[in-house]
Amino acid sequence: MKKIFAVWATAALAALGTAHLAPAHIGYTNRNFGALLVGAPASSINNQTMSSAFGWADATDADWGDSHRGRFFRFTLTTAASVMVTVQRNASGTGTPGTFLPGISVYSGLAQRANNEGLDQGGTFRTEALAHDGAELSVASRPAGTEGSFRSLVDFSIGNDDTFNTAGDPSSGILIPARLANFTYIGHAADGTSDNFGSVPGIIGDGNADGFVAATFHGLAVGDYSLFVGGANYAAQLAETTSPFPTYGVNVSVQAIPEPSTWALIALGAGFVGWRTFRRRNA
Structural domain containing residue 180: 2-281
| pLDDT > 90? residue 7 | no
Torsion, CA 101, CA 57, CA 151, CA 215, rounded to 10? 40
Q: Check if the beta carbon of residue 31 is closer than 8 Å to that of residue 158.
A: no
Q: Greater confidence, 30 or 267? A: 30
The set of residues, in sequence order, having a beta carbon less than 8 Å from that of 275 and lying 6+ positions away, is 8, 269
Reported pTM:
0.85
How far is residue 251's CA from residue 42's CA, in Å, rounded to a whole number?
A: 12
Overall domain count for the chain: 1
Q: Per-residue pLDDT tens for 173-223? A: 999 999 999 999 999 999 999 999 999 999 989 999 999 999 999 999 999
217: alpha, beta or left? (left if phi > 0; alpha if psi -120 to 50)? beta
pLDDT for residue 122: 83
pLDDT for residue 52: 96
Across 128-144, average pLDDT: 95
Q: Per-residue pLDDT tens for 214-247? A: 999 999 999 999 999 999 999 999 999 988 999 9
Residue 2 — very low, low, confident or very high, per pLDDT cuts 50/70/90?
low
| pLDDT > 70? residue 8 | no
Beta-strand ranges (E) seen in 21-101 are 32-36, 43-51, 70-77, 81-89
Across 98-124, average pLDDT: 93
Q: Are strands 118-121 and 102-108 parallel, antiparallel or unpaired?
A: unpaired
| pLDDT > 80? residue 24 | no
Identify the CA nearest to 149 among candidates 175, 181, 193.
181
Residue 4 — very low, low, confident or very high, per pLDDT cuts 50/70/90?
low
Average pLDDT of the residues of the chain: 86
CATH number at 134 reads 2.60.120.1220
Termini Cα distance of the chain: 6
